[in-house]
Amino acid sequence: MAAVMLQGTGSDVGKSVLVAGLYRLLANRGLKVVPFKPQNMSNNAAVAQCGEIGRAQALQAMACRAVPSIDMNPVLIKPQSDTGAQVVVHGKVIGTLGAADYQHRKGELLSAVMQSWDRLRAGADMVIVEGAGSPAEINLRAGDIANMGFARAAGVPVVLVGDIDRGGVIASIVGTKAVIDEADAAMIHGFVINKFRGDVRLFDDGYAQIEQRTGWSGLGVIPWLAAARQLPAEDAVVLDAAAATDGAITIAVPMLSRIANFDDFDPLAHEPGVRLTMVPPGQPLPGDAALIILPGTKATIADLAFLRAQGWDIDIAAHVRRGGALLGICGGYQMLGQAIEDPDGVEGAPETVAGLGYLPVATRLTADKRVVDVTGTSLRDDQPFTGYEIHVGQTRALPQVQPLLRLDSGEHDGAVSPDGRIAGCYIHRLFDHPAQRGAWLARLGAQGDGVAQDHRVDQALDALAASLENYVDIDRLLAIARHSHD
């Protein structure tokens, strides 16, 4: 079994997308490959066998043409506040820890990481491990399981990824060599430059300088790749909406402070008749929106207060008075109800808060988490959907409330107002199925493009893989990977 680990000079250097593309490339060559990320920090999660993992690892599993497994991401950190996070190990929540507490205890999780590693690598021809953050964060090196701590424990060689688009890539790579200790630096066998714009020949001298100053081999310079825009983001919402065509409808999503699973809206962003607007804090919700969607969140009560602090509750009220449509997904659905009860302090101090009051439902937060893939149909138009649930809390509806969806299990989910303009449900990726998305757009006066989101992503992975064949020295990467050792 061959293995290599891609670590970054910082967060958001494009590791997740690069790894996904490399996996599809190797899978297309006939290799059996599986993704692995020891520790991930993200509120974008996905359902895997027996629990949840980071969304990026689910995407990478798709790139490998493999079934998502909890071993692909044994430790998932889901931030709930600026100083605390929910800790998920082997797909299950083990508790909530403050940032300082986690730093002291993360070394205890190395055994869980290595258990997953041993299980996962046993049946693979090659594993590309994705790091997190940067190995240059030497203040976090003690007990590290995300970068060099894992690489050295598993004997996996490292290739460093630098992002030239943000500037300072020479300093970031050379500086990494300067600040990490010699044993860690010895694990690094090469580097790649990511997100290059323009004539690559202009960087020839810089490339040579990095090789000379570090002693590491360059494996390629990768340009901005258009296919990457078709893939779900993990760590940040990209406010790069396509320009609206004449008569296009606007769909607005307020960016809550703990927004989660925001790739729910990717299918809408790709619709030619839709202008998807991710509204940042401090900005009003657009008055011309046909639909406002309240997204999922890792902290429903805190983000409901955040929503009100932005004045978005006032914008929503005006939108509803104008006859606009309103949808809540997961935590957003909970916010649309009459009340949110947290008697056991799941999200903080025990309390009950008033919801926005648009649907006759109420939610009680509980420690138990529902994590499940689902399929079904919408009750008002009998259109199919596929998706998943990841949430705490149970939402109760009055007997006369019309549910929004019927699951194939026979359960109902969500609620919808009598006039159909206001609705909520727990289903993430509700818009992935083209028939379901088309039905929502038709009610807004637009027409869907009929493309399934999984098909769009799968095509993008193949395009990404084809591009990487041209820009990355794959033979050199494989040679490095074959030097992994126990």
Catalytic residue numbers? 330, 428
Helix ranges (DSSP H) in 200-329 = 204-214, 266-269, 300-309, 312-321
Give dist(CA 345, CA 311) in Å, integer. 26
DSSP state of 473: -
DSSP state string for 89-141 = ETTEEEEEEEHHHHHHHGGGGHHHHHHHHHHHHTT-SEEEEE--S-TT-GGG-
Residue 267 and residue 453 in contact, taking contact as beta carbons nearer than 8 Å: yes
Residue 389 main-chain phi, psi, to 5 deg:
-115, 135
Cα–Cα separations (whole angstroms), residue 418 to 159, 315, 361, 402: 57, 22, 14, 8
Give dist(CA 458, CA 90) in Å, integer. 27
For residue 458, what is the enclosing H or E element?
A: helix 453-471
DSSP state string for 405-425 = EEETTS-EE-EE-TTSSEEEE
Give dist(CA 276, CA 11) in Å, integer. 26
Q: Bridge partners of 422? A: 326
DSSP state string for 171-182 = HHHHHHHHHS-H
Q: Bridge partners of 408? A: none
Burial (CB < 10 A; 0-12, 13-18, 19+), residue 452, is: middle
